[in-house]
Structure 1
């Protein structure tokens, strides 16, 4: 096959090579252009792809805008959770965007990234809404391939998984451990693709975990991904209900539980 016919994503990568464009470069220039102070972000940061948490923090006055977060594409709100300061970044939807933000968080002083994303139910997990601690994710996206050689799964590392055992026992909303399917194309969740995911033991579908775990494995960063199962892809009537205040309080409680267990 001629090289021009090979999908670039499938061309072998040099995983040991240093990148030319680095998050530090972007953040430096963003601070210069926008006159931002060089202020570290909180040790614990939360990715909020739906934006429900940041909207709640802004609307209620519970959160404060971080003065030094220099991302061109997002804002960060900080909130105190019973003695733990957490930075929350909203709207980082999809694998490329989530990893872009995670890289910039690490460069800005964050030591633990927690992602809580909405997800569709693939296999029964009990009543919804509920949370899934994602222990492994099918790599049906493109970003992870730039961090790790091709394989079927990205995984939460065993040490972190072990430290989270029992962390969620006292939370009001259940948290189960399971596998997810990370896709770049939510509107291409065909019957055959869903059946294959079910056969692989997947319980939910989302858009970020496989790439975030690959980034973590490649860089040594600490990342924990949870899925908030809120829907069955709108195939059974009323759907996408997260609970009180769009599930904000439950998601923050889960994020705090992770921070306490790994602190």
Structure 2
């Protein structure tokens, strides 16, 4: 049930059944329960070239089809696929993966940093996200922020601490419009405690909560928005950081 509001984004419907249910149109597959969603396509290509992956399914969209692969890490099967950019695509991707049978997820990628002193490659574990996108409002009642699954955060922190990997646990800002990250908005988000900005976390947290699956996220500090001018810091070229983060995500995911 929902009530008409002044703005459609606030018209949350508590009815758990939608006209198009993923479980009605997506075929369940014989797949492991663990899945890593990464935004590092180059790392997936390297694994593919090394014959470490086999394709088990495909995420189909009107513009691009993303293969879903299976590999073995420390003797255990685990899936990996490239993430879809933006909250709407990420939400649909997660919905279909859940319908296929996956239930434990780690998402890894990069994010813009909003505060000074965070080096390229430094890990950030988002424990909550500011909901400056649209998707989450269709899954969870309107609120300023949404929290990540606490069990997933606990496991991520445990692995990072055991391996002596420095990290920051902090709030992230999820926005649909990276070309509208103005100075005033950035300053406000920093004041609210946000350390990073990206485009998917709030949607991932909302969908996983709605579908009752476990999902955590690990980001590395990429481009820098904390200065007078934007600095890309060549974050897309940090190949070793990206490879290491995917391997770390495999390790964490299997402990969820």
Q: Which secondary structure state, in structure 2, belongs to the residue aligned with residue 167 of structure 1? A: helix
Q: Which secondary structure state, in structure 2, belongs to the residue aligned with residue 255 of structure 1? A: helix
Report matched runs for 1:1-263 at 5 Å: 6-10=6-10, 12-28=11-27, 39-66=29-56, 69-73=57-61, 74-124=66-116, 126-171=118-163, 174-233=166-225, 235-236=230-231, 238-241=233-236, 243-245=238-240, 247-262=241-256
Q: Which secondary structure state, in structure 1, belongs to the residue aligned with residue 106 of structure 2? A: strand
C-alpha deviations, 1:227-261, integer Å up to 9, x for none? 2212215823643155335x342122321232243
4+ residue runs over 6 A deviation = none
Point out the more displaced range, 187-196 or 155-164: 155-164
State the TM-score, normalized to the length of structure 1.
0.84
C-alpha deviations, 1:46-105, integer Å up to 9, x for none? 112342332222233222222xx2421321122222223221111411111111111111
- Alpha-carbon separation, structure 1, partners of 2:250 and 2:232: 32
Residues 112 and 223, structure 1, Cα contact 8 Å, conserved in 2: yes
Residues 91 and 207, structure 2, Cα contact 8 Å, conserved in 1: yes
Q: Which secondary structure state, in structure 2, belongs to the residue aligned with residue 129 of structure 1? A: coil
State the TM-score, normalized to the length of structure 2.
0.86
Closer/same/farther in 2, CA of residues 107 and 152 from structure 1, 3 Å limit: same
Q: Which secondary structure state, in structure 2, belongs to the residue aligned with residue 150 of structure 1? A: coil
Closer/same/farther in 2, CA of residues 54 and 244 from structure 1, 3 Å limit: closer
Residues 171 and 254, structure 1, Cα contact 8 Å, conserved in 2: no
- Alpha-carbon separation, structure 2, partners of 1:129 and 1:140: 25
Unpaired segments ≥5 residues, structure 2: none
C-alpha displacement of 1:125 = 5.5
Q: Which secondary structure state, in structure 2, belongs to the residue aligned with residue 168 of structure 1? A: helix
Q: Which secondary structure state, in structure 1, belongs to the residue aligned with residue 179 of structure 2? A: helix
Q: Which secondary structure state, in structure 2, belongs to the residue aligned with residue 85 of structure 1? A: strand
Q: How many matched pairs?
A: 247
- Alpha-carbon separation, structure 2, partners of 1:123 and 1:27: 41
Unpaired segments ≥5 residues, structure 1: 29-37
Q: Note the aligned Cα RMSD (angstroms).
A: 2.5
* Structure with higher strand content: 2
